Amino acid sequence: MELYRPVSRKISAYCRAITRSSAEAEDLLHDTLLAAYEKMDQLRSDEAFPSFLFSVAYNIYSKQLRRMKFRGGYNEQAAAYLLDKAASPEMQADITLILERMKQLPQLQYEALMLFHLSDLPIEEIQKIQGGSVSAIKQRLKRGRENLLGMLNESQQRIAVMLF
């Protein structure tokens, strides 16, 4: 529990970000914690716990996605947890549209943006979760931002630049 407490909010936000659903995020978080507990003997040091936990979550989610290919469609909820309640209705609408456009990005770009900007993970941690090199993660972030800005109108671009 001591290892989990410092990363609890980040792993919870990560699960919500990649599943795009609070109910599915809760299931993913529970599955992640159970799997991590069962694999704790593989953990080499306490410092590696955050990347270990994010890697377990990513692997479980990837496995679920592969299985979902063989099932029917599912409903995605809006990412309302990201909206600032103090923002104007127009800004809230723009943020919702930005998040919807983000969902159209390639999966690795979407995840990299979410991990870096919303879960506030360093690039090295994202690299451990997604694999590849540090420069590949930086490239995903750069291309993800560029692709996202290309999908937005001028007012949405201004908001996206503030967010990302």
> 72 and 86 in one domain?
no
Please name which of 90, 134, 126, 87 lies closest in space to residue 108, comparing C-alpha atoms: 126
| Predicted TM-score (pTM) of this structure | 0.53
CA distance 79 to 68: 20
- Give the integer Cα–Cα distance in Å for 103 and 142: 16
What pLDDT, in 10s, does the model give residues 40-64? Answer: 888 888 888 888 888 899 889 888 8
What is the domain-level CATH number for residue 115? 1.10.10
Which CATH number characterizes residue 69's domain?
Answer: 1.10.1740
131 and 112 in a common domain = yes
Digit-coded pLDDT (tens) for 83-121: 445 567 777 788 888 888 888 999 899 989 888 887 778
